[in-house]
A and B are shown apart, each in its own frame.
Chain A
Amino acid sequence: MRTSALVMEQTDAALIRSTLRGETASYNTLVKRYQRQVYNLAYRMLGNADDAGDLVQDTFLRAYGALSSFRQDAVFLTWLYKIASNLCIDQMRSRKSRGALSLDVELEEGREPMADRSSSPEDTVIRGAVSDIVQQMVMTLPRKYRIVVVMRHLQGMSIEEIAEQLNLPSGTVKTHLFRAREMLRERLQPVLGMEADGTKQSI
């Protein structure tokens, strides 16, 4: 994490304690310290800057209200991640329920990754933005798969932790994760090839 490189004048625990004593300025410091990480998670899950921004605010407001229940021996960022991912899931669910289109297809297959041939993966790679494609492909995963991929591979949670947080059997989490990876692998084929060629050339 980039924050760990910064010199921390005050530990999280100290800031949380003084926030609980009523010094809101301390909470301001905490927000500034972690908003980027929370935003990143929200953006990966929701794929949209506006929604991600709203989610950052919701997360910190919730965390503020629940601060007294925060265990002092826990890691504050992990706790924020937990709140944020639960809010993301809630939001995805509520969007699903009021979605205008029938989402059955999307839920099973994800969205069609390439509706527009003019921006094929190859073109984008040539423009040097592999990560754009990867992000796009993650966003086209069905929601339930995307959640698991983000939790496993961006937050580094274990399958058991994910199962516990999503209240799913770990077998289901595994299935979702493995299918998601297969989908990504399939859709990232052009990029994978390019990458391999690139490394060969550079060696």
Chain B
Amino acid sequence: MELNSQYEHPEQFSLCLKVRENIHEYIEGYLDALTMESIRAHLSVCYLCQKEYNEIMETIKLVETLPYSEPSKDFAPLIMAAIESRSGDFFQAPVVEMETEALKRLSAPRTTTGQQRLGILRVSDVANSGVVLDGLNIGERRRNGLTHVSPPGVGGYVTQRERIMAALALLVAIFGLALHPWGRAAIGANAGAATWFGDAASSLSAIPGIGGIFQFISGVVQGAGTTLSQLWQTIGRVPMPVVFFDLAVFAAAGWFLVNRRALSHARS
């Protein structure tokens, strides 16, 4: 009925339509000065458009003046307890977090909640989320070789115990694979596996581009009659003190990476 009465003034009606179409843009101030002014002028004379405008403004006001919803309890003790329980240093290089996170995820029972599973994000996730990168430059991290930025927070930091476990796991992996017969079997350091490996390499040598690499491997493994176990035995002749010295150097470098940020904070 209202529509019918408006059809009697088609110009007026089309103007109303235009105003209604742009009313939200008008409220946000997104229109050019001329359109803003013409809408303002129309609103001051058109009762129906003004009613619409007022309703929207009132809706916005109702939303913006929603009262505070008060939390039923103080979260500070819970939060501080969670922080204390993970009291390894929070502020550390992400590389170590990545490794221990990966270990934790492999060993953890699959009952984690969605929030816990957020422990590791890809660089792109973090960049998209815009959270963690506030104030730190991902390009710079990439240049430093720290391509994996783990968000600190729940599951994102490492306790001392987890760090030791990670180091132990690494040692077990190295010595287990190289020294134990099962380990050598697993990585192809016996004659049977070497044959299989050589076959696989020669069948892959047809791949353009990287085929040459497989051709070479296949040649080394099969052509010269070398087995991987012989290669391993050669490597294995390194005296143990040298191995321990190398491990110590790696450990020192690792410790420095982990505590680098804490050290720089202590200095500043």
Find chain B residues with CB under 8 A from A2 CB: 68
Contacts of B45 in A (CB 8 A): none
Contact yes or no, A153 B63, CB < 8 A: yes
| A164 CB-CB contact with B under 8 Å | yes
B241 within 8 A of A: no
Q: Do A65 and B156 touch across chains, with their CB atoms under 8 A apart?
A: yes
Does A106 make an interface contact (CB < 8 A)?
A: no
Residues of A with C-beta under 8 A to B37: none
A86 contacts B76, CB within 8 Å? no
A124 at the interface (CB under 8 A from B): no
Number of A positions contacting B (CB below 8 A):
66
Return chain B residues, CB-CB under 8 Å to A185: 55-56, 59
Q: With A54-B115, A131-B67, A153-B64 as given contacts, are A64 and B83 in contact (CB-CB < 8 Å)? A: yes
Query: Are B78 and A57 interface neighbours, CB within 8 A?
Result: yes
Query: B107 in the interface, Cβ–Cβ < 8 Å?
Result: no
Contacting pair A164 B130 (CB below 8 A) = yes
Do B134 and A61 touch across chains, with their CB atoms under 8 A apart? no
Q: Is A28 an interface residue (CB 8 A)?
A: yes
Alpha-carbon distance A121/B68, docked complex (angstroms): 21
User: B residues 121-139 with Cβ under 8 Å of A?
Assistant: 128-136
| Residue of chain B at shortest CB distance from A30 | B76
Contacts of A35 in B (CB 8 A): 71, 74-76
Q: A60-B75, A66-B152 are in contact. Are A28 and B131 (CB under 8 A)?
A: no
A residues neighboring B (CB under 8 Å) = 2, 20-21, 24, 27-28, 31-32, 35-36, 39-40, 43-44, 49, 52-54, 56-58, 60-71, 74, 79, 82-83, 86-87, 90-91, 94, 130-131, 134-135, 138, 149, 153-154, 159, 164-165, 167, 174, 177-178, 181, 184-185, 188-189, 191-192, 195-196
Residues on B lying within 8 angstroms of A by beta carbon are 24-25, 28, 30, 55-56, 58-60, 62-76, 78-80, 82-84, 90-91, 114-115, 118, 128-136, 151-154, 156-157, 261, 265-266
List 8 tightest A-B contacts by C-beta distance, closest first. Answer: A65-B152, A62-B153, A71-B135, A178-B24, A65-B153, A39-B71, A69-B136, A43-B69
